[in-house]
Amino acid sequence: MGIFEPFRAIGYITSSVPLSVQRLGTETFVTVSVGKSWQIYNCAKLNLVLVGYLLGALGSLVCGFPAFRGPQLPKKIRALASYRDYTFAAYGNNIGVFKRAHQVIIGSQDGSLQLWNISTKKKLFEFKGWKSAISCCVSSPALDVVAVGCANGKIHVHNIRYDEEIVNFSHSTRGAVTALSFRTDGQPLLASGGSSGVISIWNLDKKRLQCVIRDAHDCSITSLHFFANEPVLMSASVDNSIKMWIFDTSDGDPRLLRFRSGHSAPPLCIRFYANGRHILSAGQDRAFRLFSVIQDQQSRELSQRHVSKRAKKLRVKQNAAN
């Protein structure tokens, strides 16, 4: 490594690229994109465990890594076997039989939804669509059921086998639907995220809105993920933060469990503090933060209580602060 070469990014949590959650043994990890690199956090405490290589483009090609994500089982897998298109998994006292899929659903900006066979490279079916750009699509725990989010703020829960709509929800007051996730622990809930940074929780049985997390994020939500068989939801946003919400209150509403965040706008002033082990940073997002150069989990936003009250007293305008 030469002089003045980049060594480590401080305060860069995530980008606009959706996150990916994987379970390895008894632990769960989340991979996030940070510019040309990627980071992996352990979801138990959201501590940083690995920083990936810088990835670049070679002409029209992009370097990548092969990956496969299978179903999440409630217990440790003891044995695996495969026969033709079927995979057999022994876990606990059960044996699960899974058929490898060769079909994928594709949504487009013109509102069309198509079912393709990736083995034969043929289009199997084209659905009616909803005359609005499809912004996200996610499969449900129920067979042949998907949720489709549109740019007009509509959410459609659709049975793709019979091409029938089961239920639809209106998300229009919170902007376009940018992320969706089904809860998988037996509760009939669907989480949706919008371009306004609000998370909505929908009850599929009662076909109504159950609760809203209004201050979930400051910017558009890029990802939502319910952990397998757990009442925990993870969200990510372009405001440079990832958060975990747990549904353990008496009324069923979620509360913030843990999070990691950085500046959502460029910093304006940076100073080393405490023998160079910490960095103080003030940004255009009006946040004053303390970053640790050793342990990422020690980074935090410093309190600015009564700032607006003092600003009014000193007659400091909002645009002047920017």
List pLDDT tens digits, range 263-274: 988 889 999 987
- On whether residue 131 sits in a domain, the answer given is no
pLDDT score at 306: 67
**Which residue range(s) make up the domain with 275?**
266-322
From 35, 68, 100, the end of a domain falls on 100
pLDDT score at 70: 56
Total domain count for the chain? 2
- On whether residue 307 sits in a domain, the answer given is yes
- On whether residue 13 sits in a domain, the answer given is no
Average pLDDT over residues 242-271: 91
- On whether residue 89 sits in a domain, the answer given is yes
Least trusted range by pLDDT, from 159-173, 175-189, 307-321: 307-321
Token pair 């465990």 is found at 49
**Overall pTM surpassing 0.75 (yes/no):** yes
From 68, 100, 132, the end of a domain falls on 100
130-134-139-140 Cα dihedral, nearest 10 degrees: -60
pLDDT score at 98: 72
- On whether residue 306 sits in a domain, the answer given is yes
Average pLDDT over residues 208-232: 93
The answer to whether 12 touches 48, Cβ cutoff 8 Å, is no
Residues of 40-55 as b/e, b for ≥16 C-beta within 10 angstroms?
ebebeebeeeeeeeee
pLDDT score at 60: 47
- On whether residue 304 sits in a domain, the answer given is yes
- On whether residue 309 sits in a domain, the answer given is yes
pLDDT score at 292: 87
CA distance 233 to 260: 14
Confidence of residue 1 (pLDDT cuts 50, 70, 90): low
- On whether residue 296 sits in a domain, the answer given is yes
Phi then psi for residue 299, to 5 deg, are -70, 145
From 100, 116, 145, the end of a domain falls on 100
